[in-house]
Amino acid sequence: MAKAFAPAKINLTLHVTGQRADGYHLLDSLVVFADVGDQVTVTPASVGAGLSLSVTGPLAQGVPTDDSNLVVKAVRLAQVRDADIVLDKHLPAEAGIGGGSSDAAATLHALTDEFGGAAPEALERLGADVPVCFAAKAARMSGTGGRVSVLESFPTLPALLVNPRIPVATPPVFRALTQKDNAPMPTELPVFSSASDAITWLWTMRNDLQEPAVSLHPGIAEVLQALKGLEQARLVRMSGSGATCFALFATIEQAQKAAATLKQSQPSWWIKPCLLS
C-alpha cells in the first residue's frame, strides 16, 4: 500500500499570453503548493480484479468514481490494471486550486511507489495543471502547461485560502477573457530573500482570469472584498480560474487569526489557513 499527498495548487500569478490556433491558451504562471490537500491511497488488487476507486472525506459528495475522474485516467495512463484506489477528499471541486490535477499527480506518485517503474511522459495529456502538480514545488508554468521550471528557492508564504463553495468551470472563464495576448512575467524571475520581498513583487503581477471570473460569478468579488478587509492581509488575489481566493500574511498566526474572524461572519465558506511553498 502506498499513500501520496495531493496539495492544493495556488496560482500566485496567472498571465494569459496568447491563444493557439487549436484554441489552447498560453499561460505564464507562478505556482506554489499549500500544506492542505487531499490524499490518495493505492493498494494492489488481485490479478484480474481490475480498478476500483472510492472517495472518502468531508468533500467526497458528488465526486465521480468512473473514468471521468482524473485519478482513474492517471491509472489508465500508467497502465496499471489491478488496483484499489481511495481518494480522501478535502479540497473543493472546480475551485481553481488544481484539486483533480493534484489528485492525478499524487496517484502517479503512489503508483510508482507501489508498483515501481517511471511515471508516464506527456502528463499534460491528463490536464494542463498535472505536470506542475506532479512537481508539487514552487515553479513557473508556461505554454499550455507542459513547460514547468521548478524554482531553486522560494520563501514560504503564510496564507488564507477561501472558497465560497461556488463551482467555477474553467472554459467559460477563458471565453469571457477579451484580451488574450497579455504581457508575460519577466524573463528572469527575481530571487526573493524573504516572504515580504516576494509579496512586494507579486503586487506588480496579476491574474488575468480574475476579472472575467468575477463577471460570471459575482460571489468571487464578495470573497475578495472580505479578504481585503482582514487585518494585516498583505495581498489578495484569486487563484486559477476561481472561485478560490487567497490572502497573504506576514505570519501563519496572522492567517489563523484572520481565518477565525472570517468563519464568524461566513460560516458556510471553505476557509483554510496554510503555508504556501
Q: Which amino acids are annotated catalytic?
A: 9, 129
Amino acid identity of residue 20, one-letter, is R
Distance, CA of 207 to CA of 16 (rounded, Å): 8
> What is the bridge-based pairing of β-strands 157-163 and 270-276?
antiparallel
Distance, CA of 69 to CA of 44 (rounded, Å): 19
Residue-level length of the chain: 277
HEC profile of the chain = CEEEEEEEEEECCEEEEEECCCCCEEEEEEEEEEEEEEEEEEEECCCCCCEEEEEECCCCCCCCCCCCCHHHHHHHHCCCCCEEEEEECCCCCCCCCCHHHHHHHHHHHHHHHHHCCCCCCCHHHCCCCHHHHHHCCCEEEEECCCEEEECCCCCCEEEEEEECCCCCCHHHHHHHCCCCCCCCCCCCCCCCCCHHHHHHHHCCCCECCHHHHHHHCCHHHHHHHHHHCCCCCCEEEECCCCCCEEEECCCHHHHHHHHHHHHHHCCCCEEEEEEEC
